[in-house]
Amino acid sequence: MKKKFVTWTLVLYVIYGLLLGLYFFQWTDVGVPPAYEGTAADPATFMTEKELELSQEYSRYQNFLSFLGEPLEWMIYLGVMIFGASVVFRNFGKQISRFRVIQIPIFVLLLQTLTTILLFPLDYARRWLSVEYGISTQSFSSWMRDELIGFWIGFIIMALLITVLYFLMKKFEKRWWLIAWVLMIPFLFFMMYLQPVVIDPLYNDFTELQDKQLEEKILTLADEADVPADRVYEVNMSEKTNSMNAYVNGIGSNLRIVLWDTTLNRLQENEVLFIMAHEIGHYVMNHLYWNLAGVIVATFFGLYFTYHLLRYATRRWGERLGFTRVSDISSLPMFFLILTLLSFLFSPVELAISRNAETDADQYAIEMTRDPDAAIGSFQELTVNGLSDVHPPALVKYLRYGHPTMMERIHMLETYQGIDVKEE
């Protein structure tokens, strides 16, 4: 079984990699559709020939690496079970303690550590590529610090969730998935409340926006939209990246309007205001809460299908893989495998919903600011600084993009009807 797994995994992965290479480097057209040529959405009108070449190269390599890494996590979970590592992890936990509240976090830590180590080369390759093309400005030590912070935050959250989950599996054999889902709802709200003030500051330094005139204009926009904010935050991202971003996140008293300093440094004031109007649009149209509702619904179906598939997998292959009960912590790799596969299968639907929400936010922002030139200019500058591919291959768009393509966004802004252009 082990030999077959290694042989077939290598053969299929090599074939998959070759097909990906052909798709990204031979079969996809990097040109601009005729309908967009010469418009503001045509990168030739706002990017130099060198920038355009680098953008196409960088996007191809990043997309190739991203898709190459997609099945690796699945292969790791399968390998952990087939080679008996899950049984070793479980037995090691039992040697440390006879209490499941200790055994389960130990198992989670061992599995997460192994997965992180095996995926590290690909993560580093993506980071190296970003540095090589001038997107990332982050030192290796700073990058590793962020990786370690992410590792331990992920472990703490996952250890808590999995410990509760496997206690429910043991106590409520047929209803654990439903109880787990009910408990997840307040947890998701709590994490949404906690994220801006506890987790985000672990990675970056947040300060009040230094440009008080700009802050006043942003807060005026927020006030017009009934966004309950009394200050704007600036985050120091220039030491890590040349990309630009802004966002509104959090709920209740922890709601935050945040601008990356790269956005402030590279965009003109009216362009910054358009970007902020876009983020305010998300808040006004309750996209934060709709997104949370979507996660809650997706969690319900994810746990429901995982419950049935995990029971089937345990009956069919569990004994050979080292577990005969779903509540045995050795089944965790199978649980993760099923959940990640389901997530991948349903991701096109999730991304399509996200792209629609982003379009709505773009339209809200252009109606609010009534400044098409600033709107178009901001997206063009975002494209140049991030070496974004304005017209990615279909596979990338539908399996990776939570936003419309830059070509679609700029074209929409250029042709948008129904606004009176703001007079200077």
- Percent of residues, the chain, with pLDDT higher than 90: 82
Average pLDDT over residues 356-377: 94
Residue 228: its pLDDT value, please?
Answer: 81
- Rounded-to-integer distance, Cα 396 and Cα 399, Å: 5
pLDDT over 70 at 422, yes or no:
no
pTM exceeds 0.85, yes or no: yes
pLDDT over 80 at 252, yes or no:
no
3-class secondary structure, 258? strand
Q: How many CB atoms lie within 10 A of CB 229?
A: 19
pLDDT over 60 at 424, yes or no:
no
Q: Which helix or strand (DSSP H or E) is residue 3 part of?
A: helix 2-22
Tokens of 91: 């037995």
For residue 250, tell me if it sits in a domain: no
pLDDT over 90 at 12, yes or no:
yes
- The pLDDT tens digits for 94-115 are 999 999 999 999 999 999 999 9
- The pLDDT tens digits for 58-88 are 999 999 999 999 999 999 999 999 999 999 9
- Percent of residues, the chain, with pLDDT higher than 70: 98
Residue 248: its pLDDT value, please?
Answer: 83
pLDDT over 90 at 225, yes or no:
no
Residue 247: its pLDDT value, please?
Answer: 86
Residue 235: its pLDDT value, please?
Answer: 92
Q: How confident is the model at residue 352 (pLDDT cuts 50, 70, 90)?
A: very high
User: Is position 278 annotated in a ligand binding site?
Assistant: yes
Residue 94: its pLDDT value, please?
Answer: 95
For residue 108, tell me if it sits in a domain: yes
For residue 68, tell me if it sits in a domain: yes
Residue 11: its pLDDT value, please?
Answer: 95
- Which range (107-111, 205-209, 335-339) has the least confidence? 205-209
In order, the DSSP letters of 146-197 are HHHHHHHHHHHHHHHHHHHHHHHHHH-TTTHHHHHHHHHHHHHHHHHHHIII
- Rounded-to-integer distance, Cα 61 and Cα 67, Å: 10
Tokens of 265: 């440094």
Question: Is 279 marked active-site?
Answer: yes
- The pLDDT tens digits for 156-172 are 999 999 999 999 999 99
For residue 242, tell me if it sits in a domain: no
For residue 32, tell me if it sits in a domain: yes
pLDDT over 90 at 18, yes or no:
yes
3-class secondary structure, 403? coil
206-208 and 246-249 strand pairing: unpaired
Q: Which residues of 5-28 are buried (b: 16+ CB within 10 A; e: fewer)?
A: eeeebeeeeeeeeeebeebbeeeb
Question: Is 360 marked active-site?
Answer: no
Candidate list 271, 279, 371, 389, residue with the active-site label: 279
For residue 274, tell me if it sits in a domain: no
Pick from 110, 202, 224, 198: nearest CA to 159: 110
pLDDT over 90 at 255, yes or no:
no
User: Is position 282 annotated in a ligand binding site?
Assistant: yes
Residue 418: its pLDDT value, please?
Answer: 63
CB neighbour list of residue 82: distance below 8 Å, 6 or more residues apart: 1, 2, 5, 321
Look at the chain and report how many structural domains it folds into: 1
pLDDT over 70 at 406, yes or no:
yes
For residue 209, tell me if it sits in a domain: no
Average pLDDT over residues 274-283: 92
Candidate list 362, 371, 381, 408, residue with the active-site label: 362
Range of the domain at 356: 2-203+286-415
For residue 424, tell me if it sits in a domain: no
- Rounded-to-integer distance, Cα 280 and Cα 247, Å: 8
- Mean pLDDT of all residues in the chain? 93
Tokens of 319: 């004994």
pLDDT over 90 at 237, yes or no:
yes
